[in-house]
Structure 1
Amino acid sequence: MTSTTAPTRVCFQLLVKPELLDEYIARHTPVWPEMLEEIAASGRRNYSLFLGEGGRLIGYYETDDDEAAQAYLTASAVAAKWEAEMGRFFIGLDGRPDQAATPLAEVFNLGAQLDAARAATPSTPNESTAS
């Protein structure tokens, strides 16, 4: 599906149990091929996970329709199996990790601010080429 609007950027946070960090990393190197295909089929792209100190996990992806992507994964038997296995890795999580992660508010985006700044600045003809 091609969209004429900017994609939705989604960032979320989870906390991995410190005693399970090595196993969590091993489960993602690599992720099941069929789960990778389901994520892509849902419409999520540029999906990354970043692991910080103390098990702080930050995830990021882009999508044209996050509600549709979420619904697709909710209905997926592959995703349900993956999430059921992954749930034990997280602290303070109630529900499937893909549905219960804490979303983060975007407060800055370089591309969006550059576009806005450029749109607000009137362009002036290049004086060296004026006749």
Structure 2
Amino acid sequence: MRVCFQLQVRPDRLDEYVRRHAAVPPEMLQAIVDAGRRDYSLFLRDDGLLIGTYETDDDEAARRALAEDPRTRAWEAEMADFFVALDGRPDQGAPRLREVFNLEEQAAAAGLAESREPAETGRPA
């Protein structure tokens, strides 16, 4: 399953938030992997809107695993101060967004072949 969530980073902490995520501690990265999350990305808008996405087989199990993992406690405690109006841990308090369109699923349902190649433009190379 794919998960998308939204948070708001405090405007005065944007640069520091970006710096902290440029080199996440290896033990935190391993905790995320061990919890079963993959293809995890964060996207940050200039006004602090943060959108995160990841894939997992069982989101509730992944959330529980991270909540119980001692490797995540210090990182999440430090990160909580970066967010506006966060209720609880960042992993638990982030509102989930509902997926309303997925190209791969609809293309497969329509019997269209999946292509990873760029579309032909009709222009000479």
The reply to whether residue 69 of structure 1 matches residue 62 of structure 2 is: yes
2:74 — aligned with what? Answer: 81
Task: Tell me the TM-score normalised to structure 1 length.
Answer: 0.83
Q: CA RMSD in A?
A: 1.0
Find the residue that maps to 2:22 and give its secondary structure: coil
Structure 1 Cα separation of the partners of residues 36 and 94 of structure 2: 18
How far does the alpha carbon of each residue in 1:28-61 deviate from its partner, in whole angstroms, 9 at most, with x for none? 1100110000000001000000001310000000
Deviation at 1:69, TM superposition (A): 0.7
SS at match of 1:38: helix
State percent identity of aligned pairs.
Answer: 59
Counterpart residue identity of residue 109, structure 2? A
Matched, 1:42 2:16: no
Q: Name which one, 1 or 2, has greater alpha-carbon Rg.
A: 1
What is the TM-score when the length of structure 2 is the normalising length? 0.87
Counterpart of 1:12 in structure 2 is 5
Question: Are residues 1:98 and 2:98 paired?
Answer: no
Bigger helix fraction? 1
Q: CA deviation at 1:89?
A: 0.2
* Misfit runs of 4+, over 2 Å: none
3-state secondary structure, aligned to 1:89: coil
Name the structure 1 match of 2:24: 31
Q: How many residues align?
A: 112
Structure 1, unaligned runs of 5 or more: 1-7, 120-131
- What letter corresponds to residue 109 of structure 1 in structure 2? N
- Cα distance in 2 for partners of 1:81, 1:29 equals 17
